[in-house]
Amino acid sequence: MVRTGTSARRGPNPLQALFNVRREEIGPVLVAALFFFCVLTALMVLRPARDALGMNHGIESVRWLIIVTALVTLVVNPLFGWLVSRLKRLPFIGATYGFCVLSLVGFWALMTFAPGAIGRTSGQVFYVWFNVFNLFVTMVFWAMLTERFTHDQGKRSFAVISIGGTLGAIFGPWLTSQLAGPLGTPNLLLVAGGFLLLGVLCAWRLLWIPHDRATDTGVATSPRADESERIGGSAWAGIRSVFRSRYLIGVAGYVMLMAVMVTFVYFTRLQMVAAIADDIDARAAILGRIDMWTHVAVLALQLTLAGQIIQRFGLGVTLAILPVATALGFIGLAIYGSFVVLVLLEAATRAVQRGIIQPAREMLFTVVEREDKYKAKAFIDTFVYRAGDVVGAQTEGALGRLGLALGGLVSVALPLALAWVVLALWLGRAQLSQ
């Protein structure tokens, strides 16, 4: 009795104080954060090289590579749906990450044993492969979380789990800067593969931690019971689900608008970097520093505001923050037009996107059917997102060819941001009725 009284008087731990994470949720949340840390570390070790290789043959080639990437994601989606239908949860997570690791080993072998074969085509293949792999590994991570955590748990825990990813996004570029010299660029691919394998171990541990959802749903469920059942269905079920549901169409619209606006910023950044740096190494260094400091801003936002905004203002208002921030950033860029302002725009928008919007956007999937958490989500987070990239890249290119450049881009971005805000507020209300 004395021990119980002492425990009751004990103050809340930091996770409870900042994010309202309950004591019994701390273990799964920390494992999920470590999982996300491993995934983002792997991605950010590779990203500067991806951007530098993509720019090596001009900005226009990047636009066409984005089209190829969108087509590849469309082809991969039914294959992923087939995998989800036939394998249990942990095996298909392992298969997805394992394929990515084997691909990295293949690229490493090519760069190590046949360096003369590295040229324009292989660089473009790596660019497309990375863009597809990048979306699928993060999509699988969040799909698993939307099944592992309930809607109420997600409101409390997704923000702190995202901090793990942000730490990985900061650690990855730093690790690249420390290891690129002594190990060489090819061996960094193996380092990234090692972190993905650690992520699979975290997934296994997370799925087998006993948890009780009685406080949220009135019914306790076990992840072991879920693991014994395949998701089933057809390979095309996710695509059909999106077009049959107004809610999922709304989510897809939000994701596409986000991708279009992010692509506007991305190409503006590539053009400014190309204007101040001529070779791959210099461009990679600049892009790496931008990534690192951007994620420092993300971390600061997550530690101060992200855990409270959804609970205080609701999902719709939270989702509307990114379009508002992006619109304000483009207005500032149109007024000043400097590289410093661009870095501030990218840092602000990505900080809001990763620090606040990503946890909120993933919560949209906590209320859909189990099959849609993986299949419909895969279609939206990969093909729809890459389709938005295509629209953004081609629109930005067309404006440039017409001589409208930044002013024309702002005139397109602002109306899109307004539509984006309206859609965000609608999704916040629609999610409550699912």
90-112 pLDDT, tens digit per residue, is: 888 888 899 999 988 988 888 77
Q: Does a structural domain hold residue 3?
A: no
Q: How confident is the model at residue 4 (pLDDT cuts 50, 70, 90)?
A: very low
Does residue 113 fall inside a structural domain? yes
pLDDT, tens only, 247-298: 999 999 999 999 999 888 877 777 776 666 555 556 556 666 666 677 777 7
Question: At which residue do the structure tokens 């609970």 appear?
Answer: 311
Q: How confident is the model at residue 328, as a pLDDT? A: 86
Share of the chain above pLDDT 90, in %: 18
Is residue 12, in this structure, part of any structural domain at all?
Answer: no
| CATH code of 106's domain | 1.20.1250.20
CA dist 100 and 106 (Å) reads: 10
How many residues make up the chain in this entry? 434
Q: Is residue 232 part of a domain?
A: no
pLDDT of amino acid 18:
57
Instruction: Report the C-alpha gap between 98 and 103 in whole angstroms.
Output: 9
pLDDT, one tens digit per residue, over 48-106 is 666 655 555 656 677 788 888 889 988 888 888 888 888 888 888 888 899 999 988 98
Average pLDDT over the chain, rounded to whole?
A: 79
Q: Tokens 């971390």 correspond to what residue?
A: 299
N-term to C-term CA, the chain: 44
Domain for residue 284, yes or no?
A: yes
Mean pLDDT of 166-190: 82
pLDDT reported for residue 131: 83
φ/ψ bin of 184: left (φ > 0), alpha (ψ from -120 to 50), beta (otherwise):
left
Across 130-134, 148-152, 214-218, 352-356, the highest mean pLDDT is recorded for 130-134
- How far apart (Å, rounded) are the C-alpha atoms in residues 231 and 229? 6
219 lies in some domain? no
Q: Which residue segment(s) compose the domain that 305 sits in?
A: 20-209+237-432
27 inside domain:
yes
Give the range among 37-41, 115-119, 413-417 with minimum mean pLDDT: 115-119
DSSP 13-65: PHHHHHH---GGGHHHHHHHHHHHHHHHHHHHHHHHHHHHHHHTT-HHHHHHH
Buried b (16+ CB within 10 A) or exposed e, 68-81: bbbebbbebbbebb
Asked, for residue 354, whether it belongs to a domain, the answer is yes
Total domains present in the chain: 1
